[in-house]
Amino acid sequence: MDGFSSIADLAKLKEGEVKIRGWVYRQRGSDKFKFILIRDPTGVVQTIITKEEVNENVWETAGKLYIESSVIVKGKIKPDERAPGGVEIQVTGLEPVSIGEPYRLQKDFSTEFLLDQRHLWLRSQKMKQIMKVRHHLTIYLNEFFDNKGFYQVVPPIIVKNACEGGSQLFEMKYFNEKAYLSESGQMYGESLIFSLGKIYVWAPSFRAEKSRTVRHLAEYWHLEPEMAWYSHEDNMKLQEEMLEFVVQKLIKEHEDLLVALGRDVDVLRHVKGPFPRITYDQMVEKLQDLDVKFEWGQDPGADEEKALTADMKVPLIVEKYPAGMKAFYMRRDPKNPEYMLNDDMLAPEGHGEIIGGSERIWELDELLEAMKKAKLDPNDPSYSWYVDLRRFGAVPHSGFGLGMERLLKWVLNLDHIRDAIPYPRVINRVYP
Ligand code: ATP
Ligand code: MN
C-alpha cells in the first residue's frame, strides 16, 4: 500500500530504495551516527542515520524521537549478516508521524505495573508473538472442526441456568429480573445437535473464580464441541485428534514463533495420539504412589495434576470419575453405574486440566433422576427446555469443553494464564 514495504519483506528485496512505517523500538548513537531500530507487526530492522549524509532536518528529527514514536523512514537497503532479517537501512528521509511523549515502559517492569499498562505492554515482542500464536491456533481449531463436518454456533451469553453448579456465577440485572453471565454454552450446544449433528460453541465463559491461581480467569474463551451419536470413546478420540492436529500444524507452519518464545519444540513434537489413559481409580493409586495426599472422591486440583503430569510430554486422559462428582448431565457407565463416562485431559509438563468432557445423559428418566439428586427443578423454565431435548427424538451424544487460554498456556509453556489473553480478567483486576 502506498509503496511501503513491511519489515519482513525487506529481507526478500535485498537492495534498493524502500519506504517503511512503524515504531521506534530502540535507539542509540553518537554525534556522527544514530542507530534506530524500527518495528512493525512483521519484524524489527535497524536503520542507520549518518550525519554527514542526511540533511539537517532529518538529523534533528532523529534526535527528538522517543521509544514508540511512530515514523516513516526512507532509505537504501544494505545487506548485513548480523541483522535479524539479513538487512539494514541507510536512512535518506525521516518523517515523524507522532513523536508523542517519553515512553512509559522503560524502568519499572514489575508484574503489577505491566498489568496496569497492559494497553502498552501488548506492544512487547513477547505479547505480540503470543497473540500471533493465539490467532494461528484459532484458525487451526476452526479448520479441524470444519474438516470434520462440524458447524460453529453461538450460544446466548446472558442466561438463567447454572450449568456447572452455580457457585461461580456472575449475577446481573436483566431488566426486572436476575440473570447470569454464562459459565458454559454446553446446554445450548446440545440443543443444536438435533439440527446440525456436530457443532462447536466458541464463546466466552464467565466464572467468578474467587482464588488466585495461574490457570483461572474470570472471563475465558471456551470451545465446546457437542456431537450426536458420539460415544465416550469417540469423544476421547476426537480430543486427541484435535490436539495433535493443532499442535503439529503450529510446529509445521510457525516453528519460528515457538522458538522466539523460548518453547522447547522437540517436547511438543511428541504430541501425537493416542494419549495415555488412566481411570479415576488408577489416578488415585498413582497419586498415593507419588506420596501426594489425596483421597478417593476428591476432585484433583493443581497440585495433584502437576504431580501426575510433570514428567510427561503428551497429555494424560483421566476417565471415569465416581458418579455424581461432577456436573449433573454426565452419563453413568451402564456397565458400571458407580462411575461416569467422562474424561479430563491433563496437559503435560505440569500444566493441568485443559479439557473436561463426557457422554451426556440422553434418556429422560435418567436425566430426571440426576436432576433430582442435584436438587434441580425440571419444570423450572431455566431447565425445562433442556429436559425437553430428551422428549423429542433424543439420541446418544457426547461433548467437551476446551479452555483456549489453558491450551495456549501449555503450548507456549507460559507461567501464567493471564498472558494468553490480551486483557485478563481476574479477581482483583477489571482494567484496562
Ligand atoms: P478447574 O477444575 O481447572 O477449575 P473445571 O473443572 O472448572 O476446571 P470445566 O467446568 O470442565 O472446568 O470447564 C471446561 C474447561 O474450561 C476446562 O477444562 C478448562 O480448560 C477451561 N476452564 C475452566 N475454568 C476456567 C477458568 N476459570 N479460566 C480459564 N479456563 C477455564
Ligand atoms: Mn473450575
Using CA atoms, how far apart are residues 172 and 180, in angstroms rounded to an integer? 5
Domain residues of the chain, as ranges? 7-98, 118-420
The predicted model scores a pTM of 0.96
Of 164, 196, 156, 211, the C-alpha closest to 183 is: 164
Contact 239, 129 (CB under 8 A): no
What is the 45 CA–ligand 2 centroid distance (Å)?
44
Residues 317-372: tens digit of each pLDDT: 999 999 989 999 999 999 999 999 999 999 999 999 999 999 999 999 999 999 99
Contact 366, 331 (CB under 8 A): yes
Contact 70, 21 (CB under 8 A): yes
Using CA atoms, how far apart are residues 308 and 416, in angstroms rounded to an integer? 19
For a pocket test of ligand 1, which of 169, 209, 216 has the largest count of ligand atoms closer than 8 A to its C-beta?
A: 216
Q: What residues does ligand 1 touch, defined as CB less than 6 Å away?
A: 164, 207, 209, 216-217, 220, 222, 353-356, 401-403, 405-406
Closest Cα to atom 10 of ligand 1: 164
Of the options 3.40.50.720, 3.10.20.30, 2.40.50.140, 3.40.630.30, the CATH number for the domain spanning 7-98: 2.40.50.140
In CATH terms, are 7-98 and 118-420 the same topology? no
Structure-block grid coordinates of residue 95 = 518523517
Residues 359-392: tens digit of each pLDDT: 999 999 999 999 999 999 999 999 999 999 999 9
Superfamily of segment(s) 118-420: Bira Bifunctional Protein; Domain 2 (3.30.930.10)
At 421, phi and psi to the nearest 5?
-140, 140
Residues 212-259: tens digit of each pLDDT: 899 999 999 999 999 999 999 999 999 999 999 999 999 999 999 999
Peptide bond just before 274 cis, omega within 30 deg:
yes
Give whole-number Cα distances, 72 to 39, 63, 289, in Å. 11, 15, 63
Closest Cα to atom 4 of ligand 1: 216
Contact 346, 309 (CB under 8 A): yes
DSSP string, 179-247: EEE-S--HHHHHHHHHHHSEEEEEEEEE----S--SS--SEEEEEEEEEET--HHHHHHHHHHHHHHHH
What is the Cβ-side half-sphere exposure of residue 96, based on CA atoms within 13 angstroms? 17
What is the 402 CA–ligand 1 centroid distance (Å)?
8
Give 3-state DSSP helix, strand, coil % of the chain, rounded to 5. Answer: 35, 30, 40
Given the CA of residue 400, which atom of ligand 1 is nearest to it?
A: 14
Mean pLDDT by 10 residues, the chain (432 residues): 88 90 96 96 96 96 97 95 88 98 92 96 97 98 98 96 76 95 97 98 96 94 98 98 98 98 98 98 96 94 94 97 94 97 97 97 97 94 96 98 98 98 96 94
Given the CA of residue 164, which atom of ligand 1 is nearest to it?
A: 10
Which pLDDT value is given to residue 383?
94
Using CA atoms, how far apart are residues 235 and 284, in angstroms rounded to an integer? 23
Torsion from C-alpha of 246, 251, 253, 254, nearest 10 degrees: 110
